[in-house]
Amino acid sequence: MRMRAKPTRQVSLPYADGDGSVTPWTRGPMKTVGLFAGVGGLERGLARSGHTTELLCEIEVGAQAVLREKFRDVKLHDDVTTLRKLPRDVDLVVGGFPCQDLSQAGKTAGIEGARSGLVGEVFRLLKRHDVPWVVLENVPFMLQLSKGRAMEVIVTAIEALGYKWAYRVVDSRAFGVPQRRERVYLVATRDGDPRDVLFVDDVGEPPTEVVSWRRANGFYWTEGIRGLGWANDAVPTLKGGSTLGIPSPPAIILPNRDRDIVTPHIRDAERMQGFEAGWTEASENVMKRGHRWKLVGNAVTVDAAEWLGRRLRAPESRGRDVASKPLMRTGAWPRAAFNVGEGRHCAEISAWPERREREPMHTFLQHPPKLLSEKATGGFFSRTARSALKFPDGFLERIEHHYERMKSGHTSLEQAAV
Protein backbone atom coordinates (compact mmCIF):
# COMPACT_ATOMS: atom_id res chain seq x y z
CA MET A 1 0.00 0.00 0.00
CA ARG A 2 1.37 3.39 -0.97
CA MET A 3 1.71 5.81 1.94
CA ARG A 4 0.35 9.27 1.30
CA ALA A 5 2.88 11.98 2.04
CA LYS A 6 1.86 14.51 4.64
CA PRO A 7 1.29 17.88 2.92
CA THR A 8 3.79 20.56 3.78
CA ARG A 9 2.74 23.99 4.95
CA GLN A 10 3.53 26.81 2.55
CA VAL A 11 6.00 28.89 4.51
CA SER A 12 8.94 30.91 3.25
CA LEU A 13 11.25 32.48 5.79
CA PRO A 14 12.34 36.12 5.61
CA TYR A 15 15.66 36.96 4.09
CA ALA A 16 17.90 40.02 4.19
CA ASP A 17 17.94 42.16 1.07
CA GLY A 18 21.09 43.86 -0.11
CA ASP A 19 20.32 46.95 1.96
CA GLY A 20 19.87 44.88 5.09
CA SER A 21 16.08 45.20 5.16
CA VAL A 22 13.98 42.14 5.90
CA THR A 23 11.47 40.75 3.46
CA PRO A 24 8.32 39.46 5.19
CA TRP A 25 7.13 35.89 5.23
CA THR A 26 4.56 34.63 2.80
CA ARG A 27 2.36 31.81 4.00
CA GLY A 28 -0.36 29.81 2.30
CA PRO A 29 -3.94 29.54 3.52
CA MET A 30 -4.37 27.93 6.93
CA LYS A 31 -6.76 25.12 7.73
CA THR A 32 -8.81 26.44 10.62
CA VAL A 33 -11.03 25.10 13.40
CA GLY A 34 -13.46 27.56 14.98
CA LEU A 35 -14.41 26.85 18.60
CA PHE A 36 -17.18 28.89 20.29
CA ALA A 37 -17.86 30.08 16.75
CA GLY A 38 -20.97 32.14 17.47
CA VAL A 39 -22.23 33.38 14.11
CA GLY A 40 -18.81 33.04 12.49
CA GLY A 41 -17.23 36.49 12.78
CA LEU A 42 -13.70 35.15 13.19
CA GLU A 43 -14.18 32.54 10.50
CA ARG A 44 -15.79 35.00 8.07
CA GLY A 45 -12.88 37.41 8.45
CA LEU A 46 -10.31 34.65 8.05
CA ALA A 47 -12.10 33.46 4.91
CA ARG A 48 -11.86 36.94 3.44
CA SER A 49 -8.09 36.72 3.86
CA GLY A 50 -7.93 33.32 2.18
CA HIS A 51 -8.05 30.81 5.04
CA THR A 52 -10.38 27.81 5.10
CA THR A 53 -12.55 26.48 7.92
CA GLU A 54 -12.51 22.71 8.44
CA LEU A 55 -14.70 22.44 11.56
CA LEU A 56 -17.01 24.66 13.61
CA CYS A 57 -18.14 24.13 17.19
CA GLU A 58 -21.08 26.07 18.67
CA ILE A 59 -23.76 25.06 21.17
CA GLU A 60 -26.24 27.95 20.88
CA VAL A 61 -29.13 26.95 18.60
CA GLY A 62 -29.68 30.38 17.04
CA ALA A 63 -26.01 30.67 16.15
CA GLN A 64 -26.05 27.10 14.81
CA ALA A 65 -28.82 28.06 12.39
CA VAL A 66 -26.68 30.90 11.06
CA LEU A 67 -23.58 28.72 10.73
CA ARG A 68 -25.49 26.03 8.86
CA GLU A 69 -26.63 28.60 6.32
CA LYS A 70 -23.39 30.55 5.95
CA PHE A 71 -20.89 27.67 6.20
CA ARG A 72 -22.87 24.92 4.50
CA ASP A 73 -19.90 22.76 3.58
CA VAL A 74 -18.28 22.87 7.02
CA LYS A 75 -18.92 20.23 9.67
CA LEU A 76 -20.67 21.64 12.75
CA HIS A 77 -20.23 20.11 16.21
CA ASP A 78 -22.45 21.30 19.04
CA ASP A 79 -20.71 20.86 22.41
CA VAL A 80 -17.00 21.59 22.84
CA THR A 81 -16.89 19.34 25.92
CA THR A 82 -17.75 16.33 23.75
CA LEU A 83 -15.38 17.21 20.91
CA ARG A 84 -12.77 14.46 21.08
CA LYS A 85 -10.44 15.32 18.22
CA LEU A 86 -9.64 17.90 15.59
CA PRO A 87 -9.31 17.31 11.84
CA ARG A 88 -5.91 16.24 10.53
CA ASP A 89 -3.30 18.84 9.62
CA VAL A 90 -5.09 21.75 11.27
CA ASP A 91 -2.93 24.89 11.17
CA LEU A 92 -4.99 27.23 13.31
CA VAL A 93 -7.51 27.01 16.16
CA VAL A 94 -9.55 30.14 16.83
CA GLY A 95 -12.15 30.95 19.43
CA GLY A 96 -13.97 33.82 21.04
CA PHE A 97 -14.63 31.85 24.20
CA PRO A 98 -17.72 32.84 26.23
CA CYS A 99 -17.27 36.17 27.96
CA GLN A 100 -20.44 36.38 30.05
CA ASP A 101 -18.55 35.61 33.26
CA LEU A 102 -15.82 38.12 32.41
CA SER A 103 -17.55 41.21 31.01
CA GLN A 104 -18.72 44.21 32.97
CA ALA A 105 -22.19 43.51 31.60
CA GLY A 106 -22.14 39.92 32.86
CA LYS A 107 -21.97 38.33 36.29
CA THR A 108 -18.19 38.87 36.57
CA ALA A 109 -17.72 35.39 37.99
CA GLY A 110 -14.27 35.25 36.41
CA ILE A 111 -12.47 32.48 34.60
CA GLU A 112 -13.99 29.87 36.93
CA GLY A 113 -17.50 30.82 35.77
CA ALA A 114 -19.44 28.01 34.14
CA ARG A 115 -19.27 29.57 30.66
CA SER A 116 -15.92 31.36 30.52
CA GLY A 117 -14.25 28.37 32.18
CA LEU A 118 -14.91 26.48 28.95
CA VAL A 119 -11.65 27.92 27.59
CA GLY A 120 -10.07 24.93 29.35
CA GLU A 121 -11.53 22.77 26.59
CA VAL A 122 -9.31 24.61 24.11
CA PHE A 123 -6.24 23.61 26.09
CA ARG A 124 -7.46 20.01 26.31
CA LEU A 125 -7.67 19.81 22.52
CA LEU A 126 -4.35 21.60 21.99
CA LYS A 127 -2.68 19.11 24.31
CA ARG A 128 -3.84 16.25 22.09
CA HIS A 129 -3.02 17.88 18.75
CA ASP A 130 0.07 19.61 17.39
CA VAL A 131 -1.61 22.82 16.25
CA PRO A 132 0.93 25.47 15.17
CA TRP A 133 -1.22 28.59 15.68
CA VAL A 134 -3.97 29.73 18.06
CA VAL A 135 -6.07 32.92 18.15
CA LEU A 136 -8.30 33.73 21.14
CA GLU A 137 -10.60 36.74 21.57
CA ASN A 138 -12.35 38.19 24.60
CA VAL A 139 -13.34 41.34 26.46
CA PRO A 140 -10.66 43.68 27.86
CA PHE A 141 -12.28 43.49 31.30
CA MET A 142 -10.57 40.11 31.61
CA LEU A 143 -7.33 42.04 32.13
CA GLN A 144 -8.75 43.62 35.29
CA LEU A 145 -11.26 41.22 36.84
CA SER A 146 -9.87 39.61 40.00
CA LYS A 147 -6.51 41.31 39.31
CA GLY A 148 -6.36 39.71 35.87
CA ARG A 149 -6.70 36.12 37.04
CA ALA A 150 -8.35 35.07 33.76
CA MET A 151 -5.37 36.17 31.68
CA GLU A 152 -2.96 34.60 34.17
CA VAL A 153 -4.73 31.24 33.86
CA ILE A 154 -4.82 31.43 30.07
CA VAL A 155 -1.20 32.39 29.39
CA THR A 156 0.09 29.96 32.01
CA ALA A 157 -1.76 27.14 30.26
CA ILE A 158 -0.48 28.29 26.86
CA GLU A 159 3.10 28.44 28.11
CA ALA A 160 2.79 24.94 29.58
CA LEU A 161 1.82 23.69 26.12
CA GLY A 162 5.00 25.13 24.60
CA TYR A 163 3.52 28.17 22.86
CA LYS A 164 4.93 31.65 22.51
CA TRP A 165 2.18 34.24 22.86
CA ALA A 166 1.29 37.89 22.45
CA TYR A 167 -1.92 39.77 23.05
CA ARG A 168 -3.18 43.24 22.32
CA VAL A 169 -6.33 45.29 22.83
CA VAL A 170 -7.74 46.33 19.44
CA ASP A 171 -10.55 48.82 18.70
CA SER A 172 -12.90 47.87 15.86
CA ARG A 173 -13.13 51.52 14.77
CA ALA A 174 -9.62 51.09 13.38
CA PHE A 175 -11.13 49.11 10.51
CA GLY A 176 -13.74 51.68 9.49
CA VAL A 177 -16.85 50.40 11.28
CA PRO A 178 -18.84 52.95 13.34
CA GLN A 179 -18.63 50.98 16.58
CA ARG A 180 -16.28 51.63 19.48
CA ARG A 181 -15.48 48.04 20.43
CA GLU A 182 -12.29 47.08 22.22
CA ARG A 183 -11.38 43.42 22.42
CA VAL A 184 -8.32 41.43 23.47
CA TYR A 185 -6.79 39.37 20.65
CA LEU A 186 -4.25 36.76 21.72
CA VAL A 187 -2.05 35.01 19.17
CA ALA A 188 0.00 31.96 20.20
CA THR A 189 2.34 29.86 18.09
CA ARG A 190 4.78 26.98 18.18
CA ASP A 191 6.13 27.81 14.71
CA GLY A 192 7.21 31.43 14.85
CA ASP A 193 6.96 34.68 16.76
CA PRO A 194 3.45 36.01 17.50
CA ARG A 195 4.72 39.59 17.49
CA ASP A 196 5.29 39.21 13.74
CA VAL A 197 1.49 39.01 13.42
CA LEU A 198 0.06 41.12 16.20
CA PHE A 199 2.51 44.01 16.63
CA VAL A 200 3.45 44.89 13.03
CA ASP A 201 0.69 47.43 12.45
CA ASP A 202 0.26 50.49 14.67
CA VAL A 203 -0.90 53.97 13.71
CA GLY A 204 -1.23 55.27 17.27
CA GLU A 205 -4.27 56.50 19.17
CA PRO A 206 -6.33 59.09 17.26
CA PRO A 207 -6.55 62.62 18.63
CA THR A 208 -9.32 63.30 21.12
CA GLU A 209 -12.49 64.11 19.22
CA VAL A 210 -14.59 67.16 20.00
CA VAL A 211 -18.33 66.54 20.34
CA SER A 212 -20.14 67.76 17.24
CA TRP A 213 -23.92 67.75 16.90
CA ARG A 214 -23.52 67.82 13.13
CA ARG A 215 -22.68 64.13 13.42
CA ALA A 216 -24.62 61.19 14.79
CA ASN A 217 -23.44 60.25 18.28
CA GLY A 218 -24.16 57.08 20.23
CA PHE A 219 -24.75 56.23 23.88
CA TYR A 220 -26.33 53.57 26.12
CA TRP A 221 -29.91 54.55 26.94
CA THR A 222 -29.99 51.70 29.48
CA GLU A 223 -27.39 53.48 31.62
CA GLY A 224 -27.17 57.07 32.84
CA ILE A 225 -26.04 56.84 36.46
CA ARG A 226 -22.55 55.31 36.53
CA GLY A 227 -21.83 55.31 32.82
CA LEU A 228 -22.94 56.66 29.45
CA GLY A 229 -20.96 54.80 26.81
CA TRP A 230 -20.61 57.97 24.75
CA ALA A 231 -19.22 57.50 21.23
CA ASN A 232 -18.53 60.29 18.74
CA ASP A 233 -19.87 59.47 15.27
CA ALA A 234 -20.20 55.83 16.33
CA VAL A 235 -22.12 53.59 18.68
CA PRO A 236 -20.67 52.16 21.87
CA THR A 237 -19.97 48.44 22.01
CA LEU A 238 -22.91 46.37 20.78
CA LYS A 239 -23.94 44.10 23.64
CA GLY A 240 -25.51 40.67 23.75
CA GLY A 241 -28.48 41.91 25.78
CA SER A 242 -29.74 40.52 29.06
CA THR A 243 -29.73 36.89 30.14
CA LEU A 244 -33.50 36.99 29.55
CA GLY A 245 -32.88 37.62 25.86
CA ILE A 246 -34.14 41.22 25.96
CA PRO A 247 -32.32 43.23 23.26
CA SER A 248 -30.66 46.47 24.33
CA PRO A 249 -29.34 48.25 21.23
CA PRO A 250 -27.54 51.55 21.82
CA ALA A 251 -29.19 54.89 21.14
CA ILE A 252 -28.12 57.34 18.44
CA ILE A 253 -28.75 61.10 18.40
CA LEU A 254 -29.25 62.05 14.77
CA PRO A 255 -28.02 65.36 13.34
CA ASN A 256 -31.40 66.12 11.76
CA ARG A 257 -33.60 69.14 12.44
CA ASP A 258 -35.75 67.29 14.97
CA ARG A 259 -32.69 65.95 16.85
CA ASP A 260 -34.33 62.52 16.86
CA ILE A 261 -32.96 59.81 19.14
CA VAL A 262 -33.19 56.35 17.63
CA THR A 263 -31.96 52.80 17.96
CA PRO A 264 -30.42 51.18 14.87
CA HIS A 265 -32.03 48.44 12.81
CA ILE A 266 -30.59 44.98 13.42
CA ARG A 267 -29.40 44.86 9.81
CA ASP A 268 -27.28 47.96 10.39
CA ALA A 269 -26.02 46.46 13.66
CA GLU A 270 -24.82 43.46 11.65
CA ARG A 271 -23.00 45.85 9.33
CA MET A 272 -21.44 47.58 12.35
CA GLN A 273 -19.83 44.22 13.10
CA GLY A 274 -18.60 43.85 9.53
CA PHE A 275 -21.22 41.32 8.43
CA GLU A 276 -23.46 41.64 5.43
CA ALA A 277 -26.93 42.95 6.31
CA GLY A 278 -29.20 40.03 7.17
CA TRP A 279 -26.35 37.74 8.27
CA THR A 280 -28.27 36.43 11.30
CA GLU A 281 -31.72 36.11 9.70
CA ALA A 282 -31.57 32.31 9.73
CA SER A 283 -31.75 32.35 13.53
CA GLU A 284 -35.38 33.50 13.29
CA ASN A 285 -36.27 29.96 12.17
CA VAL A 286 -35.48 28.68 15.67
CA MET A 287 -35.47 31.75 17.94
CA LYS A 288 -37.38 35.00 18.37
CA ARG A 289 -36.35 37.95 16.21
CA GLY A 290 -34.93 39.87 19.17
CA HIS A 291 -32.42 37.07 19.72
CA ARG A 292 -30.45 38.39 16.76
CA TRP A 293 -29.20 41.25 18.95
CA LYS A 294 -27.56 38.75 21.29
CA LEU A 295 -25.89 36.97 18.38
CA VAL A 296 -24.56 40.21 16.91
CA GLY A 297 -23.47 41.59 20.27
CA ASN A 298 -21.49 38.45 21.09
CA ALA A 299 -19.81 38.26 17.67
CA VAL A 300 -16.25 39.10 16.67
CA THR A 301 -15.93 42.06 14.30
CA VAL A 302 -15.29 40.55 10.87
CA ASP A 303 -12.89 43.29 9.77
CA ALA A 304 -10.64 42.73 12.80
CA ALA A 305 -10.52 39.02 12.01
CA GLU A 306 -9.71 39.78 8.37
CA TRP A 307 -6.76 41.95 9.47
CA LEU A 308 -5.47 39.11 11.66
CA GLY A 309 -5.92 36.69 8.79
CA ARG A 310 -3.87 38.85 6.44
CA ARG A 311 -1.09 39.16 9.00
CA LEU A 312 -1.10 35.41 9.63
CA ARG A 313 -0.38 34.99 5.92
CA ALA A 314 2.15 37.82 5.76
CA PRO A 315 3.85 38.34 9.13
CA GLU A 316 6.82 40.70 9.41
CA SER A 317 9.75 40.55 11.80
CA ARG A 318 9.55 44.30 12.46
CA GLY A 319 6.77 43.44 14.88
CA ARG A 320 9.58 42.45 17.24
CA ASP A 321 10.75 46.07 17.37
CA VAL A 322 7.84 47.11 19.58
CA ALA A 323 8.92 49.02 22.69
CA SER A 324 8.68 46.76 25.71
CA LYS A 325 9.88 46.14 29.25
CA PRO A 326 9.74 43.19 31.65
CA LEU A 327 6.27 42.69 33.09
CA MET A 328 6.18 43.40 36.82
CA ARG A 329 2.55 42.76 37.60
CA THR A 330 0.85 43.08 40.96
CA GLY A 331 -2.65 43.87 39.72
CA ALA A 332 -4.31 44.19 36.33
CA TRP A 333 -2.57 43.16 33.12
CA PRO A 334 -1.37 45.79 30.61
CA ARG A 335 -3.21 46.38 27.35
CA ALA A 336 -0.52 44.53 25.39
CA ALA A 337 2.04 41.92 26.43
CA PHE A 338 4.00 38.92 25.17
CA ASN A 339 6.25 36.00 26.07
CA VAL A 340 8.44 34.53 23.33
CA GLY A 341 10.58 32.40 25.61
CA GLU A 342 12.46 35.18 27.37
CA GLY A 343 9.94 36.00 30.07
CA ARG A 344 6.78 38.05 30.12
CA HIS A 345 6.97 41.61 28.82
CA CYS A 346 4.49 44.44 28.47
CA ALA A 347 4.39 46.16 25.08
CA GLU A 348 3.79 49.79 24.20
CA ILE A 349 1.35 49.72 21.31
CA SER A 350 -2.00 51.34 20.61
CA ALA A 351 -5.40 49.76 20.00
CA TRP A 352 -5.31 51.03 16.41
CA PRO A 353 -3.44 48.78 13.94
CA GLU A 354 -4.90 50.82 11.09
CA ARG A 355 -7.05 53.90 10.67
CA ARG A 356 -9.37 53.27 7.76
CA GLU A 357 -11.62 56.07 6.62
CA ARG A 358 -14.97 55.80 8.36
CA GLU A 359 -18.22 56.83 6.73
CA PRO A 360 -20.26 59.28 8.86
CA MET A 361 -22.67 57.21 10.90
CA HIS A 362 -25.79 59.08 9.83
CA THR A 363 -25.10 58.10 6.20
CA PHE A 364 -23.84 54.63 7.17
CA LEU A 365 -27.34 53.76 8.44
CA GLN A 366 -29.18 52.15 5.50
CA HIS A 367 -32.20 50.63 7.25
CA PRO A 368 -34.99 52.44 9.10
CA PRO A 369 -34.07 53.02 12.74
CA LYS A 370 -36.63 53.09 15.53
CA LEU A 371 -37.41 56.14 17.63
CA LEU A 372 -36.39 55.69 21.26
CA SER A 373 -39.69 55.35 23.10
CA GLU A 374 -41.14 57.80 25.60
CA LYS A 375 -40.72 55.24 28.38
CA ALA A 376 -37.08 54.49 27.54
CA THR A 377 -36.20 58.17 27.15
CA GLY A 378 -37.99 59.16 30.35
CA GLY A 379 -36.29 56.41 32.33
CA PHE A 380 -32.89 57.46 31.07
CA PHE A 381 -33.59 61.14 31.72
CA SER A 382 -34.63 60.45 35.31
CA ARG A 383 -31.45 58.47 35.92
CA THR A 384 -29.27 61.32 34.70
CA ALA A 385 -30.83 63.55 37.36
CA ARG A 386 -29.40 61.23 40.03
CA SER A 387 -26.01 60.95 38.36
CA ALA A 388 -22.73 62.68 39.07
CA LEU A 389 -21.56 62.11 35.50
CA LYS A 390 -20.37 64.99 33.36
CA PHE A 391 -22.41 64.90 30.16
CA PRO A 392 -21.43 66.49 26.82
CA ASP A 393 -22.61 70.07 26.38
CA GLY A 394 -26.10 70.08 24.91
CA PHE A 395 -26.69 66.38 25.58
CA LEU A 396 -29.30 66.63 28.33
CA GLU A 397 -31.15 69.33 26.41
CA ARG A 398 -31.48 66.93 23.49
CA ILE A 399 -32.67 64.14 25.76
CA GLU A 400 -35.34 66.40 27.27
CA HIS A 401 -36.34 67.68 23.82
CA HIS A 402 -36.84 64.13 22.52
CA TYR A 403 -38.74 63.11 25.65
CA GLU A 404 -41.19 66.00 25.30
CA ARG A 405 -41.70 65.26 21.60
CA MET A 406 -42.39 61.59 22.32
CA LYS A 407 -44.87 62.53 25.06
CA SER A 408 -46.69 64.74 22.58
CA GLY A 409 -47.14 61.82 20.18
CA HIS A 410 -44.16 62.28 17.85
CA THR A 411 -43.98 59.21 15.61
CA SER A 412 -42.44 60.25 12.29
CA LEU A 413 -38.72 60.16 11.68
CA GLU A 414 -37.21 62.93 9.59
CA GLN A 415 -34.37 61.97 7.30
CA ALA A 416 -31.07 63.00 8.87
CA ALA A 417 -29.57 65.85 6.89
CA VAL A 418 -26.65 68.11 7.68
User: Using only C-alpha atoms, what is the Rg of the chain?
Assistant: 22
User: For residue 9, how far is the Cα from the chain centroid?
Assistant: 28
E strand or H helix at 380: helix 374-385
Per-residue confidence (pLDDT) for residue 242, from 0 to 100: 59
Per-residue confidence (pLDDT) for residue 17, from 0 to 100: 38
State the distance between the two ends of the chain, measured CA to CA, in whole angstroms.
Answer: 74
Per-residue confidence (pLDDT) for residue 20, from 0 to 100: 41
Per-residue confidence (pLDDT) for residue 362, from 0 to 100: 96
Measured CA distances, 261 to 229, 275, 378, 399, 410 (Å): 15, 24, 12, 8, 12
Q: Is 149 helix (H, G, I), strand (E, B) or coil?
A: helix
What residues of the chain score a pLDDT lower than 50? 1-23, 101-111, 113-116, 416-418
- Residues identified as active-site: 99
User: Which candidate, 91, 96, 97, places its Cα nearest to that of 126?
Assistant: 91
Determine phi and psi for 138, rounding to 5 degrees.
-165, 180
Alpha-helical (H) ranges within 71-136 are 119-128
Per-residue confidence (pLDDT) for residue 160, from 0 to 100: 96
Per-residue confidence (pLDDT) for residue 146, from 0 to 100: 87
Residues 185 and 166: beta-carbon distance below 8 Å: no
Which amino acid, 346?
Answer: C
Per-residue confidence (pLDDT) for residue 320, from 0 to 100: 98
> pTM for the whole thing?
0.90
Per-residue confidence (pLDDT) for residue 411, from 0 to 100: 84
Which residues, 6+ apart, have CB-to-CB distance to 266 below 8 Å? 249, 280, 289, 292, 293, 296
Region at 373 (left for phi over 0; alpha for psi -120 to 50; beta for the rest): beta
Per-residue confidence (pLDDT) for residue 12, from 0 to 100: 38
Per-residue confidence (pLDDT) for residue 22, from 0 to 100: 45
What gap in Å lies between CA 98 and CA 33, rounded to an integer?
16
**What structural domains and CATH numbers belong to the chain?**
23-206+300-347 (3.40.50.150), 217-274+358-407 (no CATH)
Residues 315 and 25: beta-carbon distance below 8 Å: yes
Per-residue confidence (pLDDT) for residue 98, from 0 to 100: 78
141-162 pLDDT, tens per residue?
A: 999 988 998 899 999 999 999 9
